[in-house]
Structure 1
Amino acid sequence: MSQVPMITLNNGVQIPQVGFGTFKVDAAVTQQAVENALEAGYRHIDTAAVYGNEEGVGAALRAVNLPRDEVFVTTKLRNGEQGRDLVQRAFEESLGKLGLDRVDLYLIHWPAPALGTYTEAWAELESIHRQGGARAIGVSNFLPHHLETLVEGAEVTPAVNQIELHPSFQQPATQAASREHGLAVEAYAPIGQAKDLDLETVTGIAREHDVTPAQVILRWHLQQGTVVIPKSVTPERIVANIDLFGFELDEEQVAAITALDSEERMFPHPDEGNFTMLD
């Protein structure tokens, strides 16, 4: 665990570069999966209100009973709760389910531009941050034009943009815009929901290093300064996904993986997937 690098966000808060994702982790198994992750050395847990598993994350944190300052916890605001009069209540609901008095990072989950509410939601996140409810605040799935609109009127610059990012879909323009504004880039679905594990370039590099394809991809992310949140409920894979520090990709290998980029999203386009209900 001590080998996991820390990324310093634009407000000085540090985030472990490898975290444990809980997207599509069933509520019934979330506690055990997160306990396994914490015991394997993860100190960064990512959840969201819409995942329906915040309670399991909180139960795992209590069961493992690590000092609160040792675990970085992220959750996210549902789209249907972006309204100015809804954000604080939604945040307090998430805190209650997690059993925490603060989170380390709170994100607007999607821009949902059809709602037209992400800028007013951001003002509420700024208030939550000022009051100490979240050590850092940020966004997820924001494209460059969403970032421009948000940053233009913001008092607090977002610390993170969490986006779909894996070898076959890299969003270079969104990565560049995020970093230009001082946001850290965080990759969800970092191995392409396992789809990218079978790419010949990846499997070939894995054989060269005698590691798994997932370890190759995650190492590629780390060497580019990206925060990653791989997800698994299999204990062996949970351990393997944080065992990334006994090898290093050379420049040619990094370039070969980067050359795999395409325009094929696995998740909805942020301008089209407006999710106007409580999702």
Structure 2
Amino acid sequence: MILQENYTLNNGVAIPRLGLGTWMIDDDKAADAVHAAVDAGYRHFDTAQAYGNERGVGAGLRDCGLPRDALFVTTKLDAGIKDFAAARDAIDGSLVALGLDEIDLMIIHSPQPWDRFRNGERFAEGNLQAWRALEEACAAGKIRAIGLSNFEQADIDNILANGSMRPAVNQILAHVGNMPFELIGYCRERDILVEAYSPIGHGEILHNAEIAAIASNYGVGAAQLAIRFCLQLGLLPLPKTANPAHMRTNADLDFTISDADMDALKAVKPVRDYGESNMFPVFGIHARA
């Protein structure tokens, strides 16, 4: 069962191969979502300072009935924090908000602040400042592993060339119809695990007839096919849902996509419209492409 399987990060830390994303789950509903996911077998939970729900996620983890070492939690350093002192304070703030003594994985949410996302500026020194704060917290035992999100090759090169710890992960937008294979290969060559957020394309691929037809060959839904596709590419998908039924379905992945269907899915026409979500920088850049 996929929920019982792990990847091993480059520092030896085990991370469950499937996680629950919590973006857009309100703080006062996050604990219930965590409880439902734990009941469904999930052990890996992904939050962020920017989500505004660290408190709720932490509360759900603390009173879900499982020991702390049975659970894995990721949070993200706010994308706008690009100096050492602010990053150090924010890391401690996440520990307080989550109500935990240790965070399993903490990552820089974006190489650029959201209002300047992909505008050409790299914020190289600011990212190094944030990275050094994460390295310090990791060395102090506050964090077990550290990584990146939305980082492109040049941004990762900056960290590899100037940091003292190798990033454990790079969490990126990756799904059928938007699979950045060059970046994935670059990360894999450097022993950086790629995590796929929005592996269902923020719901957009559920409307794709070609994907639905392939899914029907396996007696599954498009969401299950999309998540399985990520897993067979060696990625760690993080489907987001607060719906207990969807949590269970998203983890019901006991099938294997054939090589021919994997090739067909790799060739699916790129998603260029994420509907109302085009307002968010990570989706908007593709809508404008």
TM-score, normalised relative to structure 1: 0.92
Q: What CA deviation, in whole Å up to 9, does each residue of 1:222-264 have, x standing for no partner?
A: 111100110111111011111112x111101111111115374
Partner of 1:130: 139
Q: Displacement, 1:265? A: 7.8
Percent of residue pairs identical: 39
Do the aligned residues in 2 keep the contact of 1:47 with 1:53 (CA within 8 Å)?
Answer: yes
Distance 2:269 2:198 in 1: 14
Q: Distance in 1 between matches of 2:271 and 2:182?
A: 12
Q: CA contact under 8 A between 1:170 and 1:261: conserved in structure 2?
A: no
Q: CA 1:2 to 1:180, structure 2 compared with 1: closer, same or farther past 3 Å?
A: closer
Structure 2 unmatched runs, 5+: 113-120, 275-279
Structure 2 counterpart of 1:190: 199
* Contact 1:144–1:173 (8 Å) recurs in 2: no
Task: Identify if the C-alpha distance between structure 1 residues 94 and 265 changes in structure 2 by more than 3 Å, giving closer, same or farther.
Answer: farther
Task: Evaluate the alpha carbon distance shift between residue 105 and residue 265 of structure 1 in structure 2; reply closer, same or farther with a 3 A threshold.
Answer: farther
Greater relative CO (CA pairs within 8 A, separation 6+):
1
Q: 1:18 to 1:198 in 2, by over 3 A?
A: same
- 1:56-111: per-residue Cα shift (whole Å, max 9, x none)? 10111122121111111000000232311111110111111111001110000000
Structure 1 distance, partners of 2:61, 2:20, is 13
**CA shift for structure 1 position 134:** 0.9
Counterpart in 1 of 2:77? 77
Residue ranges of structure 1 left out of the alignment (5+ in a row): 273-279
What is the correspondence of 1:17-28 to structure 2 with a 5 Å cutoff? 17-28=17-28
1:1-279 equivalence runs, <5 A: 4-112=4-112, 113=121, 115-116=123-124, 117-245=126-254, 247-260=255-268, 262=270, 264=272, 268=281
Q: Residue type of the partner of 1:71? A: L
| More helix by percentage | 2
State how far apart, in whole Å, the 2-side matches of 1:255 and 1:101 are: 44
Runs of 4+ off more than 4 Å = 113-116
Structure 2 letter corresponding to 1:250? S
Q: Which amino acid aligns with 1:38?
A: V
Q: Render the CA deviation track for 1:20-63: whole Å, top value 9, x for unaligned.
A: 00011122211111111111000100000010000110111122
**Structure 1 residue 3, shift from structure 2 partner:** 5.1
CA distance in 2, matches of 1:250, 1:258: 12
Q: CA RMSD in A?
A: 1.8
Distance 2:231 2:4 in 1: 10
* Contact 1:139–1:158 under 8 Å retained in 2: yes
Amino acid aligned to 1:194: G
AA partner of residue 208 (structure 1):
N
**One-letter amino acid of the counterpart of residue 159, structure 2:** L
SS in 2 for 1:7: strand
Q: How many residues align?
A: 270
- SS of the residue 1:81 aligns to: coil
Cα shift readout 1:169-192 (whole Å, capped 9, x = no counterpart): 111121122112210000001100
CA distance in 1 between partners of 2:165 and 2:53 (Å): 29
Q: Name the CA distance, whole Å, in 1 between partners of 2:143 and 2:273.
A: 30
Give the 3-state SS of the residue equivalent to 1:50 in structure 2. Answer: helix
Distance 1:257 1:57 in 2: 34
Q: Is the 8 A contact 2:62 2:68 kept in 1?
A: no
Please tell me whether the aligned partners of residues 110 and 151 of structure 2 are also in contact (alpha carbons under 8 angstroms): yes
DSSP 3-state at the match of 1:185: strand
Report if aligned partners of 2:196, 2:235 keep a CA contact under 8 Å in 1: yes
Letter in 1 for 2:231: L
